[in-house]
Structure 1
Amino acid sequence: MLRNTNLNLLRTLHVLLQEAHVSKAAQRLHITQSAVSRQLAQLRDIWQDELLVRNGNVLIMTPKAEMLKAKLDTLMDDFDLLLAETVFDPENWFGELVLSSSDYVAQYVMPDVCKRLSKQAPNLAVSLRLWEPEYIHRLHELNIDIASTMLPHKPDGISGIRIGADHSVLVMHQSHPLASKKHVTVNELIAYPHIKITGGADKDTFVDDILRQQDLQRRVHLRVPFFNAALSHLQVFDGLMVMPEHIAESLGDSWNIVYKPLPFNVEENQYWLIWHPKYDNDIRHKWAREQVKDAIAHCESSIQL
C-alpha cells in the first residue's frame, strides 16, 4: 500500500487528520482546496476507507484514520527531525577536521585558522598534518578534509579553489657576499651551496630543470623538511635557498634574510585549497572551507590573491 503513496500524500493526510477541515488543511499546505479534495479522494482509494466522514457541519475521523494519525504523528516528527539535521549549526559540530599544509602554513597561518574555527565551532577538534605531494590522490584514504598546497593547476578529480599566486625568489642571510647585489647571475647562483626544503609541496625542482637545460647544476648542501630548520642553518654559512616570495617577505625581519629575483624567468606559483569531491556539497565541509579561506585571506603571513 505505501509503495503507492508519495510523501506529499502522507503530508496531506497528516494535516487533514489534524485539522479535520479541508479548507484549513489547504491553507497549511499552501495549495488549493480543490487540490486537497483530490488528494483526499486518492487517499480514500489507497486505504479503502473514508478516513474523514461528515458529522453535521464537521468532519470526524474513522477508526482507521485515528490509527493512521497516531502513526503519522510519530513518522512526521521523525521526518521533520531528519530534515532539521541538514541545518548546520557550527556550535553543535562534535567531530574532527583534518587540515594538511606545509610547516610554514602550519606555524604562521594555521593559528589564525584554528582561532577562527574554535570561536565559531568550539566543540570541533582540528588536526594538522604535514602535506606531501604524493597525498594529492590519497585525500580520501588519509582522511584529509582540506589541504593547502602549491600546484601549477588543479588536478582532475580534485576539488579546490585558488587562493593566491606569487613568484619564487633566491634567499640568503644579510651578510652573504651576494646580499648587496641587486641582481644575481646564474653563475653566482650555482657557485654557492643550496638548502632544499623537502616538506610540503615541491618548491624548487624547477630550478634544477632550468639549470639542466643549460648543462648546469647547483649543489644541494642540505635537505630539511622545515622552513625554520632551513633558515637556522642558513644563518651559519654562505648558502642559498629558493622559496616563495611571500614567505621570504614574511620571515625576512625575524631571520635577518634578504632575497633577490632569480636569474631566469619562472612561472607563477599557484596556491590552492583542495579537497576530495565527495565533500563538494557537504554542509559542514562547505562551512569549514569558507572559514579556512577567509582566515587565510586575512592573515598577514599568508599568500594573498
Structure 2
Amino acid sequence: MSDEMNQKPNLNLLYTLEVLLAEKHVSRAAERLNLTQSAVSRQLSHLRDIYRDPLLVRNGNHYVLTPRAQRLGEELEGLFHNITKVLGHTDFDPQHFDETFTFSSSDYVAQFILPELVDKLTNMAPAMQFAYRLWEPDNLIKLGEINVQLASTMLPEAPLGLSSHQIGEDIPVIVTRDKHPLSESKSITEQQLTDYPHIRISGGGDKDSFLDKEMRLRHLKRKILVSTPFFSSAFALLQQTDALLTVPLHIAVNLKSTQKLHVIDIPFNVPTHKYWLLWHPKYDHEPSHRWTREHVLSIMRSSMYSVQKLNVTE
C-alpha cells in the first residue's frame, strides 16, 4: 500500500479531529473520546502530518485553531450530522418535517374529513404539505409503485400484502332527500325499491351490489338513474330527484342534517362494511409515516359511529 493511501484519515481519526477542534484541548478531548491523553496526542500528531498543518496552535494557556482547522471544523459538523441521519439515530421532529404526503380516498373523505386532517396535522407539522388522489380499486395492486403514502377504502377484509389498520365498520342504509314521498317512512318495501330509481356511487369500495343480488333472488330489478364515482354529485342529484341512494351508515349520519337527508333501513340482510387505512409495507418503519398514519387513524375513527348505539330513523 502506498504512503499516500496510508496517510488518508479514517472515520475514527475524523471523529477525533472533530472533538479536538470543538474542545481546543487535548485532555478534555481525551475525556470525551474515552481515550488516554497520550493516545489523543498521537492521533493529533498523525492528523497534523496528514493535513500538513498544525491545526491547534498554543496561545498562552490554551490552543487556537488555524484557518485550515476552522474550515475543517465546519465541514466535519455537516459530515457527522449526515452520518447520524444515515445511521438512523435522529428522532423524528414534526416541526421540521417539510415533505409532501399523498393521501388517497373517496371524494367523501376528501370533502368532509381531509380538511380536518390537514388542519390538525399542519398545526403540529407546519411545513408539511399534502396531495390528494382519488382512490381507484386497482390501486390495491399498485400501492408500492404509485406515489401514495396512505389510503382509505372499504373492503371485506384486510388486503394481503399491504399493511393496514381497521378504521371501523357499519352497515349500508338508503337515503332520500327530506321532501321525498318516502320521507315519513322508517322502512321501504320491495315494491318501492323497484318503483323508485336509484343513484349508484361507483367509486371506491363496493357499496351496493348486494342490493342487486338480493333483488334478483326475489325476481326484482332496480332501475339505475345514474352512476357516478363521486359522493358530491350523487348527493346533488339526490336533492333534485325522487331517487334512492345506498350509502354507509356513518356517512348518512354525518351528513343527515347538512344534506337534509332521510334515512331508511334496507329490508334485506345487509353486509357489514369494513373500512381500512392502508399503506405499503415499505413505510412500516418510516418515522414520519408512522407519526402521520397514527394521527390520521385517530381522526378517521372519530368520524365513525357505533352502529349499535344509533337509531337513525327516529
Using structure 1 for the length normalisation, give the TM-score. 0.75
Following superposition, the deviation at residue 128 of structure 1 comes to 1.1
Following superposition, the deviation at residue 104 of structure 1 comes to 0.9
Q: 2:238 aligns with which of 230, 234, 238?
A: 234
Equivalent position of 1:200 in the other structure: 204
Unaligned runs of 5+ in 1: 31-35, 38-50
- Separation in structure 1 between the aligned mates of residue 299 and residue 290 of structure 2, nearest angstrom: 14
1:188 counterpart SS class: helix
2:172 is aligned with 1:168? yes
1:206 counterpart SS class: helix
Following superposition, the deviation at residue 168 of structure 1 comes to 0.6
The residue type equivalent to 1:163 in the other structure is I
Q: Which deviates more, 155-164 or 90-99? A: 90-99
Following superposition, the deviation at residue 277 of structure 1 comes to 0.9
2:276 is aligned with 1:272? yes
Q: 1:64 aligns with which of 46, 53, 68?
A: 46
Equivalent position of 1:83 in the other structure: 84
Q: 2:121 aligns with which of 117, 120, 139?
A: 117
CA contact (8 A) 2:104 2:135 kept: yes
Following superposition, the deviation at residue 170 of structure 1 comes to 1.0
1:262 counterpart SS class: coil
2:221 counterpart SS class: coil
* Cα-to-partner distance string for 1:226-276 (whole Å, 9 max, x where unaligned): 223212222232211100111111211222211111111222111111111
* Cα-to-partner distance string for 1:96-128 (whole Å, 9 max, x where unaligned): 111111111111111000001221222222111
Using structure 2 for the length normalisation, give the TM-score. 0.73
CA contact (8 A) 1:101 1:148 kept: yes
Question: Relative to 1, partners in 2 of residues 1:59 and 1:126: Cα closer, same or farther, differing over 3 Å?
Answer: closer
Equivalent position of 2:192 in the other structure: 188
1:255 counterpart SS class: coil
- Separation in structure 2 between the aligned mates of residue 230 and residue 267 of structure 1, nearest angstrom: 22
- Separation in structure 2 between the aligned mates of residue 222 and residue 152 of structure 1, nearest angstrom: 25
Question: Relative to 1, partners in 2 of residues 1:63 and 1:235: Cα closer, same or farther, differing over 3 Å?
Answer: closer
The residue type equivalent to 2:259 in the other structure is W
- Separation in structure 2 between the aligned mates of residue 244 and residue 200 of structure 1, nearest angstrom: 12
The residue type equivalent to 1:124 in the other structure is M
Question: Relative to 1, partners in 2 of residues 1:304 and 1:52: Cα closer, same or farther, differing over 3 Å?
Answer: farther
The residue type equivalent to 1:303 in the other structure is M
Q: 2:299 aligns with which of 295, 299, 305?
A: 295
Question: Relative to 1, partners in 2 of residues 1:190 and 1:14: Cα closer, same or farther, differing over 3 Å?
Answer: same
Equivalent position of 2:228 in the other structure: 224
- Separation in structure 2 between the aligned mates of residue 104 and residue 165 of structure 1, nearest angstrom: 16
- Separation in structure 2 between the aligned mates of residue 107 and residue 241 of structure 1, nearest angstrom: 18
- Separation in structure 1 between the aligned mates of residue 190 and residue 220 of structure 2, nearest angstrom: 9
1:83 counterpart SS class: helix
Question: Relative to 1, partners in 2 of residues 1:114 and 1:59: Cα closer, same or farther, differing over 3 Å?
Answer: closer
Question: Relative to 1, partners in 2 of residues 1:61 and 1:250: Cα closer, same or farther, differing over 3 Å?
Answer: closer
CA RMSD of aligned residues (A): 3.4
The residue type equivalent to 1:83 in the other structure is T
Question: Relative to 1, partners in 2 of residues 1:164 and 1:68: Cα closer, same or farther, differing over 3 Å?
Answer: farther
* Runs ≥4 residues deviating over 6 A: 68-77
Unaligned runs of 5+ in 2: 56-68, 307-314
Percent identity reads 37
Task: State how many pairs are aligned.
Answer: 273
The residue type equivalent to 1:224 in the other structure is T
- Separation in structure 2 between the aligned mates of residue 62 and residue 185 of structure 1, nearest angstrom: 91
